Amino acid sequence: MIQESFKRTTESETSAESLAYRLLLLNYPAISTSTIAATNAILDVISTPPSEGVLASLTEEATRVCEEHSGDWNRHAVNQLIRIDSTLRESSRYSGIGGTGLARRVKPSNGLSLPDGTWLPKGATIGVGQVGIHFDPANYGVTADKFDAFRFSRPKEEGTATTNEDFVTTSEKYLTFSHGVHSCPGRHFAANELKLILAHLVMNYEIQPMATRPPNTPLGDVNIPPLKATMKIRRRGGKF
C-alpha cells in the first residue's frame, strides 16, 4: 500500500496522514472479521451436542499434529489441520458475517442489461443473496440448515473427496471470501491465523458445552456474534 502510494506524485497520496488513514482502514476489517469468525466458530462448536465428539476430535487433531512437528507450527503443520479447517469453513457458511456477497458497482455510462432484460443504471450497487446460497440444499444437501463441523474434512479422511473445499477455496456456492478475481487477497493469512487460534484453544483450554447456541445479532446486512453471550473456559486441569 505504501509503495503504491509513493508511485503517485500528489501530496494527498504520499502524506503521513493519508498513509496512516489507509493502513487503519485495512487493519480494521482484518482484525474485526477474524475476531468475528473465531467467535462464531467457537460458539458453533461448543453448541454441537457433546455426543457428536466435535470438540474432542478437534483437540485430538491439534495435539497429534503439534506432536508430529515437535511443537513447530510451520506451514506444513498448519495445512494438516483439516478438521479445524473444515470447522472454520462450515462455521463461515452457517454463521456467516454478511447477508449478501459479490457486491459490485455498475460502471458503464449507459448502465447494464442483465440476461432477463433487467436494466441497471450506472452507479447502482448489486450483489447476490449469500445466505440463500449457503443454505441451499442443492448446494449442501438435506443438512444445509445444520452445522456439520466436518462436512468438508470427512470426504478427505474417507478418501471420497472429488473437489478441493478448503477454508480459503472460493466457489459459486461458497462466497465467504467473495469469488473470482476479486476474492479476498488476505484469506490465506486469515485462515492460518484462525486455525492456529483454534488449535491453541482446544489444546490448552476446556470449554463448557452450551445446550443452545445464542443467536447472532443482525446489524443491517451484517451478523455479529451475540454481544451478551458468555462462555465458561478454564485451563486444562482447572475448575469452572
Please enumerate, by residue number, every residue annotated as part of a binding site for heme: 184
The neighbour count for residue 216, using CB atoms within 10 Å, is 20
Q: Which of 235, 213, 164, 189 is nearest to 45 (CA)?
A: 213
Q: Which of 31, 28, 9, 8 is nearest to 20 (CA)?
A: 28
Q: What is the DSSP string of 111-176?
A: -EE-TTS-EE-TT-EEEEEHHHHHT-HHHHGGGTTS--TTTTTHHHHHT---S---TT--BTTB-T
Is the CB of residue 74 less than 8 Å from the CB of residue 99?
no
Here the cell at position 144 is 444445509
As a whole number of angstroms, the distance between CA 56 and CA 81 comes to 14
* Cα Rg of the chain, angstroms: 21
State the binding site: 184
